[in-house]
Structure 1
């Protein structure tokens, strides 16, 4: 992969956010500095499943990114949070999907909002930093009158079971697509036209950059879809084994400035 990339699209959780246990500084100085350095002459762009929250938007400003890809490409904004692309799950589909997930007694969130809807609070055992911070509410409290871009469903015991759920959803609801995340134990569900690959391509077109001159760094199932749009893909070394074969390159472990180390090597053509 000896290329002079013009744009780096970078995932957050498990990739750029390398010290999530530090609530005041969840991203190391090494990672912040490499992002700022790239943005001086090239483009370092956040491409995440997260929403365009204050945390994400403040981060974009801090590292001088022009654009942010959120909700796996369902929501794309500029650095001032002006919406450039907005893909929704149609209203009737949101109700159908809600009923489907609840019949399976699964936990879920909407749009990255910090609420987990569940039929049993004790069943919420996902070992992810964000899950510990979210409040929990019964199914009856969910508000589907809002616009919905993304569901996140979890509660199954294994990666295989979650993969089977993904197949079932995409068969039953062909208008939707799924992405395996959280070490294979969660499933992101979006409009079929939303993916990080589609989002990255949208930004490349805005910047007039060919996709062959851009690369994506990530660690989850929602990152591998960038291959559909012909992006080079660096999979972080902390990714689950089933994800790694999709990468053009295995980068560093995300901890302790893994993104900074990986990009530095790419910039020096050391891979």
Structure 2
């Protein structure tokens, strides 16, 4: 089903037949199944398109497909007239069928878009975390930069210590080295902590599985707060179960804010939660 202005376009087929054909062609892989019409460039007015199998008569208005009819054989005068007469409020149609067009694939067409309902929960979890990959990379580079800076500081300290070794009391040298060790230990502790961005990505993937989008999200080192529309109250139990089962969160506590029409879910983040990847 595809939204077209104030209307919807609906295609349907026998899933048993189609699934058997897809399984025979692709095996264990499960590609998305889309109508060939949705992979065509938009048109205007009346046209006939030559498909991989058969022909399709179409009526377009404002670059939206408003009517179509498929035939295995070419449209003749009778079948074309039967199609055009059914379209109310349409512009005058050609008296004879227009020549069929062979159209290129339009990779920006709706056939190539993905909605949350097309993905499994595991894929959404992985994609939610992956959607923040650049931000996570930025944080990682920052931490690496911090590590490089600390290494540089250590080298500089060592150089300066060597230059003034004879004039520096032993106790002062030990104090300087201890301070440097504390810096390196602090960096190692930061590096080992759970990444809030990964946890936030997992949370976004979970709510996306229910066609929800957070209105607010607050990620800290040990906790995460997700704010959802109030309509999510009806599936709160399922959300809690998915959050706790993801491996990222525990102690999940929802609270409602009926005055502001919000559902707020607060949870704690597990340390060193395993990263989730999109399913194949």
Asked if these proteins are the same fold (TM beyond 0.5), I'd say: no
* TM-score normalised by L of structure 2: 0.21
* TM-score normalised by L of structure 1: 0.22
Structure with more helix by fraction: 2
The structure with higher relative contact order (CA 8 Å, sep 6+) is: 1
